[in-house]
Amino acid sequence: MKLHTIQTGYFKLDGGAMFGIVPKSIWNRLNPADENNMCNWAMRCLLVEDGNRRILIDTGIGNKQSDKFFGYYSLNGTDSLKLSLNHAGFEFADITDVLLTHLHFDHCGGAVQWNKDKTGYEPTFPNATYHLTEAHWKHANNPNPREKPSFLQENFAPLKEKGVLNFVKENEKLTDNFTCRAVGGHTISMICPEIKFENKTIFYAADLIPSSNHIPLNYVMGYDIEPLKTMQEKAALYQKAVAENWLIYFEHDNAVECCTVAVNEKGQYGVGEMMVLDSL
């Protein structure tokens, strides 16, 4: 098995929305905001080579939205989905599977692209099967009013039209080393893959724990539909992560790729050892 970090660029989101009830006087020391209260965040995906499978987890924000749309999020950096895959030695056609943790635009925008003459859309990865849960698919197509702006039909409806979707069950294995764990605090039935790599477990945290600064239990995003459930899900995860020295892989942390979880004498959780996949 081989793992490849796939950087797709950076974008900005409101710091208060990202840290929920945590006061700005605290979170601003962790990820300083600009004059508009916006903080910079990564869109870091992961490519898993396991046997003859090349599984890409999430696809970033993509490039097919309008300049006005992208202007809201101040896209920055020189990374892109294509460049990062090319740097790892792959083309879009080499990907066999795309695991979409959920269908918010910053996680699935790169799953679909314009066709050649820009008259319609097509799957970005022509030879891939796209995986997510059926419960989340139904939710994305019938969202609550609060989440509706995050679900853009052009990012995922073409996958159904082209017949490339596969609905996985919670805890289903894509390979012997790749398990689809599901959580529901951030959005309905979001997948957080659990990957066995050599003698380690790597947990792709998606938006359950968007950054290392969100490890404390009460550091929960304002975007979450059930924040108390998120806290419960984090607490259950940490029991195993601490006991078995798991690595948590962060999709949105602009500096830390992955780390272990530490617990202090008061039972409070925090960042343990910080690592990058290249060092494993």
**Widest CA span in the chain:** 61
Q: Tell me which residue has tokens 């970090």.
A: 5
Q: What is the pLDDT of residues 167-223, one digit of tens each?
A: 999 999 999 999 999 999 999 999 999 999 999 999 999 999 999 999 999 999 999
Query: What is the dihedral angle through the alpha carbons of 146, 72, 33, 100, rounded to the nearest 10 degrees?
Result: 60
Q: Give kind and range of the element (H or E) at residue 94.
A: none
Map out the domains of the chain with their CATH numbers.
2-279 (3.60.15.10)
Q: Which two tokens stand for residue 5?
A: 């970090």
How many beta carbons lie within 10 A of that of residue 56, not counting itself? 28
Q: How far apart are CA 97 and CA 9, in angstroms?
A: 21
From the number of C-beta atoms within 10 Å of its C-beta (0-12, 13-18, 19+), residue 69 rates as middle
Q: What is the pLDDT of residues 121-173, one digit of tens each?
A: 999 999 999 999 999 999 999 999 999 999 999 999 999 999 999 999 999 99
Contact 179, 144 (CB under 8 A): no
Pairing of strands 2-14, 247-249: unpaired
Q: Which pTM value belongs to this model?
A: 0.97
Q: What confidence tier does 280 reach under pLDDT thresholds 50, 70, 90? A: confident
